[in-house]
Amino acid sequence: MRQAISHSGIRFRLLAGGLSLLLGLSAQAASYAVPHAALSLLPGDGQQAEVRHARDTVAGAALPDLGLSPPAGRAHVGLETMFSSQQGSWYFEPFVNNGLFRAIAGYQAHHPQAVVISGGSITLDQMAASLSDPRVLRRHKDGYLLSYPLVIAPGAALLIEDTALYLYTYSGTALINRGLLSLKGATLSSWNGEQPQSTQDPYRPFVMAWAGSQVRIEGSRLLRLGYNANLARGITTALSTQQPASTAPARVLVRDSEFTDLSTGLELQHAQARIQGSRFNDQQQYAVDLRDGQVEVAGNQIRGVQNNSGVRVRGEVRGLIAGNQVLDTAKSAIEVVEQRGALGIRQNLLGASRGNGILLGQLAPTQDQPLLVEGNLIGNTQGSGIDASEVGGALFLVDNQVGNTPEYAISLRNTQRLSGSLVLTGNTLGGIGKAMVRVEGLEQIVLGGNRYQGSPVLQNFLIGDLLPVQSQVLEGTVRHPCLLRVRTGVAVPATDLVVDDSCRG
């Protein structure tokens, strides 16, 4: 049974009595030696300026208006022969060995053909009238049934508005977009004629949009598309090896739409993508899979991912993932690995994942390309709330709430010590099975304003490189409102550091 999660479903409070037991300290200012780590006080306004800079840098990576509009004039539509390996057939070649041509051969008795739209815009009604061939496109249920692959050429557009387009599974139907594919108030779905699907050679229709193309999906429903093969998992964008590296990214706008039972709802590479207010239900691999692009993923609901994470980010991706609800995923709710670029993960509700809330791996953010994880509510995960590994650079974990996990609230482990700074401020952590915070192998950690719920008799609040200075850090950042920098892995002489309520100043 899925676990429900809400802002009111996770309660945090500071157990002041237990903290005093851990510290064993009076209310007076503390003076202490620092073994194997160096602690120093930081001015609060300086740290606030760093966080503001990270926010401003992420805001500066915001997407411009995508400017999607159909070309003028009536498009031409006709049938053309598909070649799997010939000059100019590069946009078919990736599908030679993934089942598309095999499925086509089961339906078309001649050399494979595709419907090609060129030179303007066209609707389904207009296309059906022009083709006048029910084996290719015919009336079906509340719209049309397409049984041939369809190619939208550069400078052309297919407009599907207030109707449905069904893609016949057993004829190798797919939409190959190099122009504009526009869905408004529409339904796009596979249809198998109620025949059982083969498990030996699985195939489902898909949408492939090459770099330079445009995709607009507004107020629409997409159902049962894609299967687990390269570039065929659902709605996909990519830059072909046959396209110049300078080719403009695909532009994708998805708004107020619903994706149900796709292999991957949106697999976007080399794209500028704005995904807003949409729902992803029961995806197989990922709901949103992003690589090399500029993105805004805001206000979406993701419920149920069978095999992997809800949102995955890789490569040179910059932008914002904000205000989303991601529940019931097989792995992490949000996964960021081998990523570069200013990226904000803000104010998301993440829970009931069978992995971590947020997974971060192999990252080296910088002050000019920060990773800002701020204001997220994470709970009821089977892994840690935030789990990071092989991370250096400038990582900001600010004002998050993490609760109800059997692992760690926040865990960062590097196999080798990496330079950089983790800013860990204003977080509320409670209901944690292991330690609240584990940090290993990072040069500097900045802590302050974090609130902890737990029993210090039964668990450590801070472990790893922070364990030797756990009581000092808690005294300086919880009992007194100070901001501390901990430099790890250094052997320093015993020195005195005094903290008191003067930090409020």
Structural domain boundaries of the chain? 1-61+307-505, 75-276
What would the pLDDT profile of 160-201 be if each residue is shown by its tens digit? 999 999 999 999 999 999 999 999 999 999 999 877 665 466
Q: For the chain, what's the residue count?
A: 505
Structure tokens at 383: 């892994």
pLDDT confidence tier of residue 47, bands split at 50, 70 and 90: confident
Cross-strand partners of 237: 209, 268
d(Cα 284, Cα 260) in Å, to the nearest integer?
Answer: 10
Helices (H), 3-132: 16-23, 44-60, 100-105, 124-131
Strands (E), 185-324: 187-191, 207-210, 214-218, 221-223, 234-238, 250-255, 258-260, 264-276, 279-283, 286-298, 301-305, 311-322
pLDDT confidence tier of residue 479, bands split at 50, 70 and 90: confident
pLDDT reported for residue 11: 37
Q: How many CB atoms lie within 10 A of CB 72?
A: 8
pLDDT exceeds 70 at position 260: yes
pLDDT exceeds 50 at position 494: no
pLDDT confidence tier of residue 20, bands split at 50, 70 and 90: very low
pLDDT reported for residue 14: 35
pLDDT reported for residue 502: 66
Q: Which residue has the higher pLDDT, 286 or 43?
A: 286
Choose among 287, 442, 466: nearest CA to 364.
442
| Lowest-confidence region among 40-54, 57-71, 162-176, 415-429 | 40-54
Q: Which residue has the higher pLDDT, 17 or 313?
A: 313
pLDDT reported for residue 359: 98
Identity of residue 373 = V
The answer to whether 211 and 102 have CB atoms below 8 angstroms apart is no
pLDDT reported for residue 89: 82
The answer to whether 400 and 409 have CB atoms below 8 angstroms apart is no
pLDDT reported for residue 481: 84
Cα Rg for the chain, rounded, in angstroms?
27
Q: Which residue has the higher pLDDT, 89 or 148?
A: 148
pLDDT reported for residue 99: 80
What would the pLDDT profile of 411-454 be if each residue is shown by its tens digit? 999 999 999 899 999 999 999 999 999 999 999 999 999 999 98
pLDDT exceeds 80 at position 118: yes
Exposure pattern of 40-70 as b/e (b: 16+ CB <10 Å)?
A: ebbebeebeebbebbbebbeebebeeeeeeb
pLDDT exceeds 70 at position 30: no
pLDDT exceeds 70 at position 313: yes
Average pLDDT, the chain: 89
Question: How many percent of the chain have pLDDT more than 90?
Answer: 75
Predicted model pTM: 0.92
pLDDT exceeds 90 at position 462: yes
d(Cα 350, Cα 377) in Å, to the nearest integer?
Answer: 6
pLDDT reported for residue 27: 30
Choose among 299, 218, 314, 226: nearest CA to 266.
226
pLDDT confidence tier of residue 223, bands split at 50, 70 and 90: very high
Question: How many percent of the chain have pLDDT more than 70?
Answer: 87
CA distances from 43 to 341, 397, 481, 502 (A): 28, 18, 11, 11
What would the pLDDT profile of 275-310 be if each residue is shown by its tens digit? 999 999 999 999 999 999 999 999 999 999 999 999
Structure tokens at 359: 């997974």
pLDDT exceeds 50 at position 26: no
pLDDT confidence tier of residue 23, bands split at 50, 70 and 90: very low
pLDDT reported for residue 38: 84
| Lowest-confidence region among 260-269, 375-384, 455-464 | 455-464
Dihedral pair phi/psi, residue 282, rounded to 5°: 55, 55
Choose among 332, 324, 323: nearest CA to 305.
332
pLDDT confidence tier of residue 222, bands split at 50, 70 and 90: very high
Q: Which fold has domain 75-276?
A: Pectate Lyase C-like (2.160.20)
